[in-house]
Amino acid sequence: MGFIRDLLTASVLGANIYSDIFFIAFKLPNLFRRIFAEGAFTQSFIPAFTRSHHKAVFSVHIFVVFIFVIMLMTLIVNLFPQAAAKIIALGFDADTVKLAAPYVAINFFYLPLIFAVTFLSTFLQYKHHFATTAFATGLLNIALIIALLLSRDQSDAVIVTYLSYGVVIGGILQLLIHIIAIYKVGLSPLLVGGVRFYQKKVQQIKKESSTFSKQFFPAIWGNSTAQFSAFLDTWLASFLSTGIISYLYYANRVFQLPLALFAIATSIALFPRIARYIKNDNEEKALRFMTKAFWFLAFLLMLSAIGGFILSKEITWLLFERGAFSAEDTANTALILQMYMIGLLPFGINKLLILWLYAQNRQMQAAKIATLSLVGNIVFSLLLITPLGGAGLALASTISGFIAFFATVHAFGKERFLAIINAKYSLLWLFSAIVFTVILLFTKELIHGYL
C-alpha cells in the first residue's frame, strides 16, 4: 500500500516545490512515528512493564506523561508553524517557509495519534499479537491514496492540503483499529484498572517510572540512527536545488521496503522473546534465536541490496516514471537509491544485534553507538554534499550505517558474533550473492535489449 501511495504521489505531484513542501511537512511527525513504532518505545517499555509490580498503573502513568508532552509540542507547532517549518527546512527561503507552514501544522496532529497507536500496539506485541499493528500502517496509506485520487485534477496546493488531512485521518483510523484490538484481546480491563487506581497507587510506581525514563531517552537515540540520518538528509537537502528532497524521499522509500519487511518486522517479533530469555538468564536459547534471525536477514537483505543497486533505474522507472515524474527524475532518484542500497545489510543486521543491548538494559551504550554513527553521518554529509549533491547525502547515511554496525558488533561481543557466523552458511551466503548478481546483470541486459 505504501508503494501504491508513493506511485500516485510521484504521478500526481512529481518532484517539485510542492512535493518538497509535503515531504518536509510530514517529515517531523513521520520521524517520531518511526522512532516510536519501530522499536524505541517498545524496547524500553516491555522490559520495564515486565518488571513492574503495578503494571496497570505504571502503563497509564507512562501514557499520561508522554501524551501531555506530545500534545504540548503539537500546540507549540500550531502556534508557531513558520518557526517549525524553518527548523525542519533551514535552507528554504522566506516565501517557501510561509507556504509550507500551514501544512506543517496540519501534519503535526498525526504525532499524538501515532503515539497512542504505538502505546496500544506495545501491549499487543507483549501478547504476541502483531497482525493489527502490521495492518494499521495500511490504513494510513489508504487514507493518503484516497486523498490523492480525490485531488488529482486540482492544483498542487490543493493536493498537498488533501494529503495533509489524509495523514490525520489515517492516524485516527489506526487508533480506532488498535482500540478494537485491545478490547478483543482482553487487555481493556488492564488499562481501565490503571485509570481507576491511578490516584491511589501512582506514588508506588515512582521508582519504576524513573528507571523507565532513564532507559527510554537513550533508547530513542540508540534505536533511531537511520531515522535521524534521513531527517538530516532532508534538512541539508533544503539547501540544494528544488526536487532533491523529493528524490531522497522516493529513493529512501524503496530502501525502507526491505528494511521494514524483513529487519524491522523480525526485530519487533523477536524482541519480547529475547527479553524474556535474557531476564531468565537463558542466554544460550536467546542466542539460538538470534542466529536463526541473523541468517534469515542476511540472505534476504543481501539479495535485496544487490537487486536494488543493480536494478535501481529499472525499479525507479517502473514505480514512479509517469505523469509529473520525468525521465530525468528517474535518473536522479536511481543514483540516490544506489547509495542507500549499499547500506541496507549493515542497517538491517544492526537492527537485530541492537536488541541484545536493549534486552540487557544497556540503552546508554546503544545511545553512544548512535551518537558515534550520527557524528560520522554529519561529517561525511558535509564532505560529500558539494561534490555529489543528494547522492552524497545518501552515501553519508550509508557510511553511518556501517559505523553503527561495527560498533554494535563490538558491544554485542565478538565471540557471540563469531558464534553466529557459521562457515557453512557463510559460503552459501557468498555463493548465493555471486549467482544472484550474475542473474540480475543478465536480466538488466535483457530489459535494456527489450526496451
Q: How do residues 115-140 score in pLDDT, each as one tens digit?
A: 899 888 888 877 778 788 888 888 99
**Same domain assignment for residues 250 and 143:** no
Confidence band for 363, pLDDT divided at 50, 70 and 90? confident
**Same domain assignment for residues 277 and 317:** yes
pLDDT at 15 over 80: no
**Same domain assignment for residues 157 and 243:** no
Listed residues 191, 217, 243: the one ending a domain: 217
**Same domain assignment for residues 422 and 297:** yes
Q: CA–CA separation, 88 vs 83, rounded Å? A: 9
**pLDDT given at position 38:** 54
Question: Percent of the chain, pLDDT > 70?
Answer: 88
Query: Could you give the C-alpha distances from 197 to 59, 61, 122, 189, in angstroms and in order?
Result: 12, 11, 21, 12
Closest C-alpha among 172, 224, 145 to residue 397 = 224
Q: Which residues does 321 contact at the CB level (< 8 Å), separation at least 6?
A: 10, 327, 329, 330
Dmax over CA atoms of the chain, in Å, equals 74
The parent domain of residue 311 ranges over 224-451
**Same domain assignment for residues 302 and 438:** yes
- Go through 233-266 and write b for each residue having 16 or more CB atoms within 10 A of its CB, e for each that does not: bbbbbbebeebbbbbbbbbbbbbbbbbbebbbeb
Listed residues 201, 217, 233: the one ending a domain: 217
**pLDDT given at position 99:** 87
pLDDT at 61 over 90: no
Confidence band for 13, pLDDT divided at 50, 70 and 90? confident
**Same domain assignment for residues 271 and 196:** no
pLDDT at 147 over 90: yes
**Same domain assignment for residues 193 and 235:** no
Structurally, the chain folds into a number of domains equal to 2
Q: How do residues 394-451 score in pLDDT, each as one tens digit?
A: 999 899 989 999 999 999 888 888 878 875 666 667 767 777 677 766 666 666 655 5
Closest C-alpha among 367, 369, 368 to residue 408 = 369
**Same domain assignment for residues 197 and 234:** no
Which of 212-221, 275-284, 413-422 has the highest average model confidence (pLDDT)?
A: 413-422
Confidence band for 113, pLDDT divided at 50, 70 and 90? very high
Q: Determine the average pLDDT of the residues in 89-107.
A: 85
Burial class (CB in 10 A: 0-12, 13-18, 19+), 301: buried
**Same domain assignment for residues 152 and 260:** no
**Same domain assignment for residues 389 and 306:** yes
Q: How do residues 69-94 score in pLDDT, each as one tens digit?
A: 889 989 999 999 888 888 877 777 78
**Span between the terminal Cα atoms of the chain, in Å:** 28
On whether the pTM is more than 0.85, the answer is no
**Same domain assignment for residues 378 and 417:** yes
**Same domain assignment for residues 172 and 87:** yes
Listed residues 195, 217, 239: the one ending a domain: 217
**Residue 111 and residue 118 in contact, taking contact as beta carbons nearer than 8 Å:** no
Confidence band for 339, pLDDT divided at 50, 70 and 90? very high
